[in-house]
Structure formats: structure tokens, C-alpha cells
């Protein structure tokens, strides 16, 4: 049996689908469906059971899963970087993770969990070492603290792998609202208004030139499953492309994929700006000092662990994503 926490969420449901494509249906999805629209992420998936997070934790305490779990993909967390409720964040992201790690140690089950590139804060070096980690918000701190907790365990009795996700985009994120990827928002903005809106200048970067490591959820799933297949590999790894690209590039990739679909020629970013298809809004004051203007995963450790597959760049990955969004929008 495989457990996927946060299995109705963005990355979790993509992992469930990836396991299904391997013929695995013995999957228990654990989530919280108080916001019920996440169920849509699972309608094309095959699972053995669904458990509410609170019931699942109670089941563990009662020993209901003893001897039954092969692996836990732990994707369940509050990922809202603007949620400043530290009590909630630490219970949901830190204590929950500790409980599941202890269970996997007792059971000898694989534990593959979601960390975050937010642990690096405003730094310019993104390597999995303590001296470059300095989160900017309580979400990042909750992820950082669990990584530290894992590091401090002298000997772990099971495989433990932490994935520091960079800016993930792709199918099954529609429920995330304002926390969905910029590619998702650009798609809908352009379809509705013929324009996309980006942040203006910040942190010494010109409008739309802030740079992030944008990674397709397709690559995220491949990396998770690579470590699932290689049970002797443990550690904390960056999950990105290794290449920072601008928000302007994401906007252009989104718009041009839609233009191609509509039989129109693609346009360079500067031409999209000139035609006011790409537009800019003032950088929000609420994000001052809490925003990563630049991220770029150092993927050296990931490659050293044996993962060699190339990642989609923005033009490739966003283009594939737009095709999926067009299918979904045409069927709704």
C-alpha cells in the first residue's frame, strides 16, 4: 500500500496519477476536503481509499496501518506563503511531518516528503547546505525546521527523501486560487482580457525580469518516482531545472502557446510589451522583504544521486501545460 498525503492537492494528485500509470492502484489518499473542489483532481485517478487527515492520524495512533504501508509520499501541507498563523503552520507542516516520519521509521517504510525552495529566503545560492538557508516567512520556516529535524536524526531506519520544490506549475492546480502558478493565471488573464499582468520592478530587477526556477509538475513526479525506485538513496534535494527564467519569459510562453492555438504568429517579449499584451502592476508593498526575486536550483546533488533526465524549460513545459488547460476549458 502507498499513502499520498495531500493526495487531492496539486503535486499529490499528480503523483497519484503517475503511480496509476505504473499500474499502482493500492493508494490511500489522505487530505482535507473542507474546500471540496479539490476532488476534481482525483476523478481520473484510481485509488483504494480516501482518509481525512484527522482520521488518518487517529488510525496511525491505533495501529491500523501497521505492516501495511510500503511508502508515504508526504505532500500534505499549508503552502500559502501569505498565511502568517504560525501555530497553524507549525502544527500542519512540522508536527504532522514528524508524526509520519516516526511511523515510517517504525514500519521501515519509505518516506518521501515535500520541502520547499522557500528555505533559502532572499539568498543567491541555492544549495542544500545549512549556511545558505534563511527563510523569509513562517511557511518557509516550517519547511526549514523539518529539514533540520531530519538532518539531526542520527540514524534513520528507513529511506527519507526531502524535495525542495522550486516554482512548480502544471495540471491539477486550479483549486489553489491566488496560490496557483503564474502560468495558470497568465492563461486565464489572456483568455479573458487579451492581456497578462506582471509585477513591476523590484529588488533591482526591471518589470517582469525577476527570475525564478520554474519547474513542470511532470518533472516533479518523475523525480519523486525515481527515488521511490531507488530505496537506498536518502537526502534532501533541490527539485528545479537548474536554470532561472524571467516572468516575462513565462508570460511570453503562455501567450504564444495560445496564439499558436488561435492560428496567430508568436511574438517576442518586447513586442508583447509594446502591444500592451504584457502589462505591469506596481510591486505590492505587502511583499516587500518577503519576496524571492531570484531563485535557481543547484541540481548537483540531484544529479549525483543518479537522476539524469533533462527538465522541460519554460517554453516546452508551459506549452505542454497550455495544451492541457485548453482541453480542460473546452470540456467544461
State the catalytic residue, choosing from 53, 176, 222, 290: 176
The yes-or-no answer on residue 169 being catalytic is no
Q: Are 252 and 268 in contact (CB under 8 A)?
A: yes
Note the helical H segments in 194-246: 217-229
State the catalytic residue, choosing from 65, 96, 113, 139: 139
- From the list 280, 230, 222, 231, the residue with the least C-alpha distance to 251 is 280
Q: Are 257 and 318 in contact (CB under 8 A)?
A: yes
**Cα(193)–Cα(182) distance, integer angstroms:** 16
The yes-or-no answer on residue 139 being catalytic is yes
Note the helical H segments in 230-295: 247-261, 269-274
> Which grid cell sits at 96?
504532522
Q: Quick check: helix, strand or coil at residue 237?
A: strand
In the numeric block, the cell 531530519 is attached to 150
> Which grid cell sits at 225?
518516482
C-alpha torsion 174→178→181→183, nearest 10: 80
Note the helical H segments in the chain: 10-20, 53-62, 86-89, 96-107, 138-152, 182-193, 217-229, 247-261, 269-274, 300-304, 314-331
In the numeric block, the cell 515510517 is attached to 104
Kindly list the catalytic residues. Answer: 139, 176
Amino acid at each position: 500500500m502507498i499513502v499520498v498525503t495531500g493526495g487531492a492537492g496539486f503535486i499529490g494528485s499528480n503523483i497519484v496519477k503517475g503511480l496509476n500509470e505504473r499500474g499502482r492502484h493500492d493508494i490511500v489518499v489522505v487530505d482535507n476536503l473542507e474546500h471540496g473542489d479539490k476532488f476534481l483532481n482525483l476523478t481520473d485517478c484510481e485509488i483504494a481509499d480516501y482518509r481525512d487527515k484527522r482520521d488518518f492520524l487517529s488510525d496511525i495512533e491505533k495501529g491500523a496501518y501497521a505492516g501495511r504501508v510500503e511508502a508515504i509520499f508526504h505532500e500534505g501541507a499549508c503552502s500559502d506563503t501569505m498565511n502568517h498563523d504560525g501555530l497553524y503552520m507549525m502544527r500542519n507542516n512540522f508536527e504532522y511531518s514528524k508524526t509520519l516520519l516516526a511511523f515510517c521509521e517504525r514500519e521501515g517504510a519509505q518516506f518521501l516528503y515535500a520541502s520547499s525552495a522557500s528555505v533559502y529566503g532572499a539568498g543567491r545560492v541555492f544549495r542544500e547546505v545549512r549556511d545558505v538557508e534563511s527563510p523569509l516567512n513562517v511557511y518557509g520556516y516550517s519547511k526549514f525546521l523539518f529539514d533540520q529535524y531530519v538532518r539531526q536524526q542520527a540514524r534513520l531506519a528507513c529511506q527519507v527523501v526531502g524535495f525542495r520544490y522550486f516554482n512548480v506549475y502544471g495540471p491539477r492546480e486550479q483549486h489553489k486560487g491566488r496560490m496557483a502558478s503564474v502560468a495558470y493565471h497568465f492563461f486565464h488573464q489572456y483568455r479573458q482580457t487579451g492581456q497578462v499582468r506582471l509585477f513591476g520592478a523590484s529588488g533591482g530587477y526591471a518589470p517582469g525580469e525577476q527570475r525564478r526556477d520554474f519547474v513542470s509538475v511532470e518533472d516533479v513526479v518523475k523525480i519523486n518516482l525515481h527515488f521511490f525506485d531507488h530505496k537506498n538513496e536518502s537526502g534532501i534535494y533541490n527539485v528545479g531545472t537548474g536554470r532561472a527564467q524571467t516572468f516575462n519569459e513565462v508570460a511570453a510562453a503562455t501567450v504564444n502557446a495560445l496564439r499558436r492555438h488561435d492560428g496567430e504568429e508568436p511574438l517576442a517579449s518586447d513586442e508583447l510589451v509594446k502591444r500592451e499584451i504584457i502589462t505591469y502592476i506596481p510591486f505590492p508593498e505587502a511583499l516587500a522583504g518577503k519576496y524571492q526575486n531570484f531563485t535557481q536550483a543547484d541540481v548537483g546533488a540531484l544529479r549525483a544521486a543518479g537522476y539524469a533526465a533533462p527538465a522541460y524549460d519554460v517554453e516546452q513545459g508551459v506549452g505542454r501545460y497550455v495544451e492541457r488547460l485548453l482541453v480542460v476549458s473546452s470540456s467544461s
